[in-house]
Amino acid sequence: MEPMKVVLSDDEIPRQWYNVMADLPTPMSPPLHPGTGQPIAAQDLAPVFPMNLIEQEVSTERWIDIPEPVLEKYLLWRPSPLCRARQFEKVLDAPVRIYYKNEGMSPAGSHKPNTAIAQAYYNKVFGIKRLSTETGAGQWGSALSMACKMFGLQCRVFMVRVSFEQKPYRRLMMMTWGGECISSPSDRTRAGRQILAENPDSPGSLGIAISEAIEDAVGDETARYSLGSVLNHVLLHQTIIGLEAQKQLAKIGEYPDVVLGCAGGGSNFAGISLPFVRDKLHGKQVEIVAAEPTSCPTLTRGPFAYDFGDTAMTTPLLPMHTLGHGFLPAPIHAGGLRYHGMAPIVSHLVKEGVVEARAFNQIETFTAGVQWAQTEGFIPAPETNHVIAAVVQEAERARQEGKEKVILFNWSGHGIIDLPAYDAFFSGKLTPYELPEEEILKALESIAGLPKP
Ligand SMILES: Cc1ncc(COP(=O)(O)O)c(C=O)c1O
C-alpha cells in the first residue's frame, strides 16, 4: 500500500532553520529609516525588537541553530505529518499526487506557533517582560498568547475590529492562554484614536493594528513588539515546515514538481517553499506558487516599491510588493490575508521570477475548501482555502497537459473557529470580489513620494 502519511520521529526534527539570505542570487534592497531615508541600522530597531532577533533579521548565515528550549516546545506537536490527499486526488481526477504539510495540528491550529515560540523565547532570554502584537484572523494573536505563557511573558494583542467581531472564539483562546485582546482601532493609542476620530466605524486593518502594537511596545521599556509575518526572522522560523517536508518526501522517494502556499504576509508560504527555493537556485526544476485573494492582490497587482509596513508610517520602509499603506482591504473572511504589503524576501523572489503568484476569489476558495473538507475531512481555515484553490487549478493544468505531477502544499491551518465564514458562503453572502483598478490606483497614491528600490 502506498503511504497515506509520512511521520518523522522526535529525534528526526530539523535542528537548524534555513536562511535563504545566504543563497539569494541578487542582493535585496535594504530597509530604510523612515526619517532619514538611509539604510536602517540595527540600533534603530532596538526599541521595537530585542537585539538577538535583530541579529537574526539581518543575518546571512545559511543555517541557524534552533535553541533547545524552542525545540522542546516544537516537539509538543512537531514534526507535523506529511499527508497524501488521496481522496481529494480522486475527485479531481487528474494525474497528480498531492502531498500536504498539516500545520493545523499545532495547539493554536496553524503554522503561527513556529515563530511565536521562537520569538517568545528570544525575548525572554533578552530580559523582556511583555510582548505587544497585532492579529488579523486571530491565529497569530492566539499563537503568541500561548507562546508567551509558555515562557512566562505577558501578551497584549490588538485584533483587527472586523475579525474581533467575526471571531469571538479566537479572543477566548487568547484569554485562555493569558493574553489580553483589544479591538483595533482602539482608544489605547494615539494611532488608534486618530483613525477613530476620522472614521468611528473603521473595520480596522492589519496596518492599523501594527501601528497600535508598535506604539504600545515602544512606550514601555520592558515591552517589545512582535510580528507574526513579513520579516526575515519570521520567515526563517517557518522554514522548519519545508525542511521537515524535504526529509519526509525523501523517505518515500518523491520530489515535488510544484510547491504552493497561501500568502498574506508571506510566512507560511516561505516556510514551506524556501528550502525548495534553495534547490531551485541550485538547478532543480520546481515551480513555486503563492496564492493570494483577488480582494487584496498584493503580489499579482501591487508594484514592487518601498512602503511602510503599517498605516501610521512608523515602521522602516520595506522593499516589497504593496498596495500602499493607506489601503483598507475589503472585510473578506480570510482575515490573515488582508495585508497591504508582503514579505520583502517573497517580494524579491517574485520580482526575480523564482516564485510565481496567482490570485483567487472567495467563491473559488470556499468551493475548493468545502470540496477538501468533504474528501479529506479536515476543515481548512479560509486563508488555507486559497492554496487549495491553487492546487485544484494545478491539477486541472496537469490533466489538460496530460502530465503527471507531484504537488506539495502547506495546509496552513484549520477552520473550526472560522465556521461563520462557511455559513456566509453557504447562505450566498460571499461574492467573487476583485479589487477594482481605480481603488488600486487610489491606494497607491500613499506611496507616490517614497524612495524607489
Ligand atoms: C491559517 C492561516 N494561513 C495563512 C495566514 C497568512 O499569513 P502568512 O502569509 O504570514 O502565512 C494566516 C494568517 O493569519 C493564517 O491564520
Atom 16 in ligand 1: which residue has the minimum CA distance? Answer: 139
Instruction: Determine, yes or no, domain membership for 127.
Output: no
pLDDT attached to residue 389: 98
Condensed to tens digits (0 to 9), the pLDDT of residues 352-376 reads 999 999 999 999 999 999 999 999 9
Q: How far is the CA of 381 from the centre of ligand 1 (A)?
A: 9
Atom 4 in ligand 1: which residue has the minimum CA distance? Answer: 383
336 lines ligand 1 (CB under 6 A): yes
In this prediction, residue 294 has a pLDDT band, given cuts at 50, 70 and 90, of very high
Instruction: Determine, yes or no, domain membership for 389.
Output: yes
* Exposure on the CB side of residue 225, measured as CA atoms within 13 A: 25
384 lines ligand 1 (CB under 6 A): yes
Instruction: Determine, yes or no, domain membership for 210.
Output: no
387 lines ligand 1 (CB under 6 A): no
Instruction: Determine, yes or no, domain membership for 178.
Output: no
Quick one: 423 exposed, middle or buried, by C-beta within 10 A (0-12, 13-18, 19+)?
A: exposed
Instruction: Determine, yes or no, domain membership for 294.
Output: yes
Q: How far is the CA of 65 from the centre of ligand 1 (A)?
A: 24
383 lines ligand 1 (CB under 6 A): yes
Cβ–Cβ < 8 Å for 289, 405: no
Is 0.85 surpassed by the pTM of this model?
A: yes
| Nearest one of 146, 173, 147 to 418, comparing CA atoms | 173
Q: Which domain holds residue 356?
A: 68-109+233-447
* 8-state DSSP, 451: -
Show the cell assigned to 205: 486593518
**Residue 359: helix, strand or coil by DSSP?**
strand
Average pLDDT (309-316) is: 90
Number of independent structural domains in the chain: 1
Q: Where are the alpha helices (DSSP H) in 40-107?
A: 51-58, 68-74, 86-92
Condensed to tens digits (0 to 9), the pLDDT of residues 216-233 reads 999 999 999 999 999 999
262 lines ligand 1 (CB under 6 A): yes
Contacts of 280 (CB under 8 A, 6+ apart): 286, 288, 354
Instruction: Determine, yes or no, domain membership for 253.
Output: yes
Instruction: Determine, yes or no, domain membership for 52.
Output: no
What CATH code is carried by the domain that includes residue 298? 3.40.50.1100
**Residue 259: helix, strand or coil by DSSP?**
strand
Q: How far is the CA of 401 from the centre of ligand 1 (A)?
A: 31
User: Which atom belonging to ligand 1 lies closest to the Cα atom of 138?
Assistant: 14
pLDDT at 1 over 80: no
pLDDT at 25 over 80: yes
* 8-state DSSP, 29: P
* 8-state DSSP, 260: E
265 lines ligand 1 (CB under 6 A): yes
pLDDT attached to residue 83: 98
The whole-angstrom distance between residue 374's C-alpha and the CA centroid of its chain comes to: 25
Candidate of 103, 111, 226 to mutate for ligand 1, largest count of ligand atoms within 8 Å of Cβ:
111
* 8-state DSSP, 418: G
Q: CA angle 50-180-148, nearest 5°? A: 40
Instruction: Determine, yes or no, domain membership for 145.
Output: no
| Nearest one of 300, 333, 324, 309 to 136, comparing CA atoms | 333
pLDDT at 8 over 80: yes
Q: How far is the CA of 187 from the centre of ligand 1 (A)?
A: 27
| Nearest one of 312, 257, 231 to 19, comparing CA atoms | 231
